[in-house]
Structure 1
């Protein structure tokens, strides 16, 4: 089912960040001031986005946008940015009521499903 695929892709992508949280916390914070770290982070982030797109594109027929590749890139950017800001700053940085990691992942997965699959939610 396409919705399950999208949720699983989001969960795996965010899970990678969570599994490497201690390392990534320092990397995210230093990347703004260190061009080489920023360059490498951008490359690895792009590779992660390409992998995410390869997986999610297997549900291309269910994606309700005129340009599925662009929609997936946008979805990846949103999910990536949301999850990567949580790494150094924690769950309470952008919201007044922090949610635990499991709820965070589930919410992001549902956001991705609703964006990509619109009326195909299920």
Structure 2
């Protein structure tokens, strides 16, 4: 089972006492909501204080800067995402009766996983462009998901028609993820407005993945 990366040094742990913990939770919830609404550059600690109904002193008792607070929010978000991404394979497995239906289901579940977390992943991926802590944690989590999916599909190695199953499975994961991420606007300041039929995109990517893996390639001219 994939595990979320350990929090970087300096990331505050939740306090144990009830009142302090409640204040901390309001602080973190407010910071995440502001991150989704405005992006990492669009709010200040005073906004977290106002929205979370916590004093600015309480924030500085836990975090030395807004950057450190955002990294702590990212750590919490990644805990949720890493827990949820372990269910991609379980849900796909429950929907499939063959290797072909398995890869179609995995691609579909991968798309749904990304869509369900798109609001918070979008600003975090923008942040990752210049924040190495966020970048490293995101990369580790992505690699864990890719390894988990590849292991499941390669358990059916004998059914894969592609001459290089390991490469083919890696390519399916990479290309499917990239297509979904682009459609969801990851790395963009704002979500894209309309355009592609999301259900059709998932079906098309699943069909292409199945054909790439399980249809024999044509002979070279």
- Structure 1 length normalisation: TM-score? 0.83
Matched, 1:117 2:214: yes
Q: Which residue of 2 aligns with 1:16?
A: 113
Listed one character per residue, the Cα deviations across residues 63-95 of structure 1 (whole Å, up to 9, x for unaligned) are: 112221121111111111111222225376xxx
Matched, 1:90 2:205: no
Listed one character per residue, the Cα deviations across residues 39-68 of structure 1 (whole Å, up to 9, x for unaligned) are: 111111101101110221132112112221
CA distance in 2, matches of 1:58, 1:91: 39
Which one has the largest radius of gyration?
Answer: 2
On the 8 A contact 1:91/1:100 being kept in 2, the answer is no
- Structure 2's unaligned 5+ residue stretches are 1-97, 186-190, 217-221
On the 8 A contact 2:111/2:180 being kept in 1, the answer is yes
On the 8 A contact 2:104/2:203 being kept in 1, the answer is yes
Listed one character per residue, the Cα deviations across residues 4-57 of structure 1 (whole Å, up to 9, x for unaligned) are: 111001111111101111111111222112211111111111011011102211
CA distance in 2, matches of 1:41, 1:86: 19
Q: Which residue of 2 aligns with 1:2?
A: 99
CA distance in 2, matches of 1:91, 1:116: 32
Higher relative contact order (CA 8 A, sep 6+): 1
**What CA RMSD, in Å, does the superposition of the two structures yield over aligned residues?**
1.6
Taking the TM superposition and a 5 Å limit, the aligned residue runs for 1:1-122 are 1-88=98-185, 89-90=191-192, 98-119=195-216
- Structure 2 length normalisation: TM-score? 0.48
CA distance in 2, matches of 1:32, 1:117: 36
Q: What secondary structure sits across from 1:86 in the alignment?
A: helix
CA distance in 1, matches of 2:136, 2:165: 27
On the 8 A contact 1:63/1:117 being kept in 2, the answer is yes
CA distance in 1, matches of 2:164, 2:135: 29
Deviant stretches of 4+, over 6 Å: none
CA distance in 2, matches of 1:111, 1:102: 14
